[in-house]
Amino acid sequence: MKHYSASFSIHLTLAQLVLAAIVLWMIFGDPVTNIANLFYSAGPAPWEEVDMVYYPDRRVPSVSESMPDLGSLEECRTWARQMAAQHDDRDLERGVYECRTAFVRLFSSRRVHRLSIK
């Protein structure tokens, strides 16, 4: 019959608690966003898409034009400048734009925006 020391059983219990916490975080939490916030707080993570939203008149936020799933932050900015030029606002004096980092939820088509960058 084997006897385990008390310290071994405590370590085993702590390891089980840590594993259970990680599993619960992965099931009920938002690990994708948490990891992106930790390592990519200033820009899009490699798995995120970049969406552009352009407001022709910054005083009227209910009117906007959008372009989903651009390749990068720079492409978003390029599209925004093109949209501003189409509205005769090359210097963005009237309009404003946002580049939003997004990923599509695994079990739905809902887009979740984590960051809004200019």
* Secondary structure letter of residue 58 according to DSSP: T
pLDDT of residue 42: 87
pLDDT of residue 89: 95
pTM over 0.85: no
Q: How many residues are recorded in the chain?
A: 118
**Structure-token pair, residue 67:** 């372009």
pLDDT in tens, the chain (118 residues): 565 555 656 667 888 888 888 888 888 877 878 888 889 988 898 888 899 999 999 999 999 999 988 889 999 999 999 999 999 999 999 999 999 997 766 566 677 788 888 8
CA distance 99 to 83: 13
